[in-house]
Amino acid sequence: MTGLFITFEGNEGSGKSTQLERLAARLAASGHEVVTLREPGGTPIGEEIRHTLKHSHRNHAMTPEAELLLMNASRAQLVREVIRPALAGGKLVLCDRFHDSTTAYQGYGRQLDLQLVQSVIEFAVGDTRPDLTLLLLVPHDLSEQRRAGRQKRAPALRDRFEEADRQFFERVEQGYRAIAQAEPHRVKFISAEGDPDEVEARVWEAVRPLIESEPRA
């Protein structure tokens, strides 16, 4: 049996990571073999790149072009080292961000040429595409509150992306909404407002038809 590839996308503070963990636990409890990943990262090489992109105190001069290429270098490694073998083995792969993040953040957010962005993505991932993408969004005011709370809890862990201004994040959301509109069969919008249990129920409602339609190994 070929596995399933589900990605979580969304703006900062939308609770993607929490909901991915909850879904992974639910699927594992029902007998599925689940692999959980994050981007950038997910491999030793990718984690090094993640540090350079997000946390390094030497990355202030990073250009959008360098950011685009580093992000997809990490992704190319993840696809070939982990995702493709896991899917070939019939596993369920859950990934916190994937190629839609590059369209939204580097394409719309950094305002790089969208055709160029897509060509780099295609080189990195080939035909490895998600079966389902869950798009979690919260209003900008709530996103900013949650980012501020995160920085307060871990002040030593700098995140270069979270240092961007509100206009950047508004463009990112615009990008995500454009992706969802262009691919409604794959991208399912999930309201990330409210209690985490309520959001989990919305996530499961979107995921369950895909899981139940798949034959078990």
Q: How does pLDDT run across 13-39, given as a tens digit for each residue? A: 889 999 999 999 999 999 999 999 999
d(CA 118, CA 114): 6
| Confidence grade of residue 217 (pLDDT, cut at 50, 70, 90) | very low
Judged against a pLDDT cut of 50, whether residue 42 lies above it is answered with: yes
Mean model confidence pLDDT for the chain: 93
- Which pairs with CB-CB distance under 8 Å and at least 24 residues apart come from 143-151? 143/11, 143/12, 143/13, 143/14, 143/169, 144/13, 145/13, 146/12, 146/13, 147/12, 147/13, 150/13
Name the more confident of 64 and 149. Answer: 64
Q: For the segment 134-150, what is each residue's pLDDT rounded down to a tens digit? A: 999 988 887 777 766 66
Q: How is the chain split into domains, by residue range?
A: 4-213
Any idea which fold 4-213 has? Rossmann fold (3.40.50)
Q: For the segment 81-102, what is each residue's pLDDT rounded down to a tens digit? A: 999 999 999 999 999 999 999 9
Judged against a pLDDT cut of 80, whether residue 67 lies above it is answered with: yes
Judged by average pLDDT, the poorest of 145-149, 165-169, 176-180 is: 145-149
Q: Which of 49, 53, 54, 52 is nearest to 78 (CA)?
A: 49
Residue type (1 letter), 139: P
Pairing outcome for strands 92-96 and 34-38: parallel
As a whole number, mean pLDDT of residues 146-158 equals 69
pTM: 0.93
| Confidence grade of residue 129 (pLDDT, cut at 50, 70, 90) | very high
Task: Report whether 100 contacts 7 (CB < 8 A).
Answer: yes
Give me the pLDDT at residue 213, please.
79
Judged against a pLDDT cut of 70, whether residue 200 lies above it is answered with: yes
d(CA 206, CA 171): 26
Residue type (1 letter), 138: V
| Confidence grade of residue 48 (pLDDT, cut at 50, 70, 90) | very high
